[in-house]
Chains A and B, each alone.
Chain A
Amino acid sequence: MAQLSVENVTLSFGGINALNSVDIVVEPGELVSIIGPNGAGKTSLLNCISGFYHPTHGQITFEGNDLTKASPHTISGYGIARAFQNIELFGGVSVLENLMLARHTYLKYSIGAASVFYGAARRGEVENRRVVEDVIDFMELEPYRKALVGNLPYGVRKRVEVARALSLEPKLLLLDEPMAGMTLEEKEDMVRFILDILAERYTTVILIEHDLGIVMDISDRVYVLDFGMVIATGKPEDVAENPAVIEAYVGGAG
């Protein structure tokens, strides 16, 4: 059985269908990319998977859990993490604290222990700090550990977004344009991080990305969305030659 399955999902906003009978399956360990012109419904799809929107019709399941009407915090508990397209970090605190916040559900100590910072509270904090430090190492964020997130440059904040999602130790990672607006060098770094996430952390990844060169290079499979509908799907090389896709890109963007 597929790890994630989106079945016949329609999402309407007052008559306009942002998504229209969308079917998507993702297998464990895959890197699946979702591409499509601006306004195609890519972010709306991620919003449905992560519980920010609830489909008007259809069903979404993840490892046997029904996500269709679940809240974002419930879904994050199932093992799905997300990096937002428009950076949504906790701006008033440090990088470290942003990542520690992703460990929230792993920390189980009582408020009593927390108020004296003793026993289970101290142990829990130290153990989870270790997990977070691994992520900091992994994403090469050491120089920014204690920096206030609001003050960091754009490219670094994008990286913190991904690092925070990784700190949840998810089984499925949703990345919404993690390379948008980055320099070439930053993009190359991000590609390397994504490949490492797949290889070393055994995490399934759904990637939304506009840079088709990168998408075709690294994806296992690609879904193409246009006006809320899946117009093509398959291996990158097949999708690239699909006339409907060329039409959507040339006709839509050109």
Chain B
Amino acid sequence: MRNPWTRTGNYKTSYAQDTTIFATYSEQASLAVFLIGMLVLPRFLVRGDMQILDLILIYALAVLGLNIITGYAGLINIGHAAFMGVGAYTAALVAPHLPFWAVLPVSGLVAAAAGAVVGIPALRIKHLYLAIATLAFQLIFEWAVGHSPALEQGGAMAMPRGMVFFGYKIAFKNHHYFWYYVSFTVLVLMAFGFRNLLRTRFGRSLVAVRDNDRAADAMGMDPGKTKVFAFALGAFYAGVAGALYAYWSRAVVIEDYSLMISIKFLAMAIVGGLGTLVGSFLGPAFLELLDINMETFSYAIKEIYNPPGVDVGSAIRPLAFGLAIVLFLIFEPRGLANWWRLLRSYFRNWPFKY
């Protein structure tokens, strides 16, 4: 009998149907419940929580961009924070003249242009050499900002305050709530956008150059152009994330887009699961929540054990971060996304075991 609630009872009768993303009613229903849950969530949270939640959403968007480049197209990128930075500085420069909803795509496009330029070496070089090119971009970016008086040489560039959006004034109290809804909307739209790309020639070609760029070439794809495209697309996501980060943090400072952050993004992508969409959300959420809890934990440690000359408290956070990455690499290199997959396939194939 046909039962559209589960996969096992679902016969597809056309190719168009077979390409749908959320195929069963129960998948559609859980998606709807999740989205509504996210929309009402702020009602139950205080300002401090919102700040963290905003950060997770913005980082998720950036990590999604990194996943496009590194996870899907297989191009190691150690300069992703710099793409985000390009977006953020673009936002700082254009925000006084444009409404925020125009600033976001403009920042994305400028970052995408930077991404394409960084991707050009990919026409010739591969693997580790290409990774070094992205590292070089990170360093050049930091150096260039540090030497630009127009960008305050890396010091704080303030974002406009007291914005009014359709008569709604964004002030200190509702700042994090407002940017939550903006970030969430942007993230959902851009994630769906990429999910759609994945079932078209654009997404498939990314995976093709990752898996076998000789074969991709023989199938009519230009591997070089595809890699440049991957960088531009991933950097676009990072650029939009950078603009959101700029608004969220109310100022653009170079430290927020440093090499350290690029490495953090890589860690988030790995912990979440490289080359998975859901991993782009799970990775940042896991590592940010871990960090916050470790901060609380380190205060508690200081109370109990605080030998002179050694700062036990501040060692806890980087230690937990490093440990989490190492444990994931050893025990679950496919990341949290793999747990998610197992959970899903359990429910999807219900009532069968496999």
Contact = CB atoms under 8 A, between A and B. Distances in A.
Interface in B183-242: 193-194, 196-197, 199-205, 207-208, 210-212, 214-223
A114 B207 CA distance: 16
B211 A90 contact: yes
Nearest to A111: B202
Contacts of B314: none
Contacts of A130: 15
Please report whether the interface of chain B is mostly helix, strand, loop or mixed according to DSSP. Answer: helix
A18 B194 CA distance: 45
Given A92-B211, A126-B16, A129-B15, A117 B217 contact: no
A90 B275 CA distance: 14
Given A101-B208, A114-B197, A122 B222 contact: no
Interface stretch (A23-31, A69-77, A151-159, A231-239): A69-77
A104 B229 CA distance: 15
Given A82-B218, A102-B219, A126-B16, A116 B196 contact: yes
Interface string B110-132: 00000000000000000000000
A88 B201 contact: no
A240 interface: no
Interface in A94-128: 97, 100-105, 107, 109, 111, 114-117, 121-122, 125-126
A164 B211 contact: no
Contacts of B204: 93, 97, 100-101, 104
B19 interface: yes
A15 B222 CA distance: 31
B200 A121 contact: yes
Nearest to A91: B211
Contacts of B16: 122, 126
Given A92-B210, A126-B15, A104 B221 contact: yes
Which of A101, A105, A109, A122 counts the most chain B CB atoms within 10 A? Answer: A101
A198 interface: no
Nearest to B205: A104
Given A73-B221, A77-B220, A117 B215 contact: no
Contacts of A51: 217
Contacts of A48: none
Interface in B1-60: 14-16, 18-19
B217 A72 contact: yes
Contacts of A186: none
A82 B216 CA distance: 11
A115 B197 contact: yes
Contacts of A90: 207-208, 211-212, 215-216
Interface string A46-72: 000011100000000000000000011
Contacts of A168: 219-220
Contact of B196 (A72, A88, A115): A115
Contacts of A111: 197, 202
Contacts of B15: 125-126, 129-130, 133
A76 B207 CA distance: 19
Nearest to A118: B196
A207 to B, nearest CB: 17
Interface string B315-332: 000000000000000000
A89 B214 contact: no
A109 B199 CA distance: 13
B196 A107 contact: no
B220 A104 contact: yes
Given A90-B208, A101-B208, A76 B193 contact: no
A114 B222 CA distance: 19
Contacts of B193: 115-116
A101 B219 contact: yes
A223 interface: no
A125 B219 contact: no
Contacts of A100: 204
Contacts of A88: 212, 214-215, 218
Contacts of B202: 111, 114
A84 interface: yes
A194 interface: no
A117 B202 CA distance: 11
Contacts of B216: 90, 101
Contact of B220 (A73, A89, A116): A73
A52 B214 CA distance: 8
A81 interface: yes
The 4 lowest CB-CB distance pairs between A and B, nearest first, are: A114-B200, A90-B211, A105-B220, A72-B217
Interface of B: 14-16, 18-19, 193-194, 196-197, 199-205, 207-208, 210-212, 214-223, 275
5 contacts: A76-B217, A93-B204, A101-B205, A102-B219, A168-B219
Given A90-B216, A102-B219, 19 more contacts: A52-B217, A72-B217, A73-B219, A73-B222, A73-B223, A76-B217, A76-B218, A77-B220, A88-B215, A89-B211, A90-B212, A92-B207, A107-B200, A114-B200, A115-B196, A116-B193, A117-B199, A125-B200, A126-B19
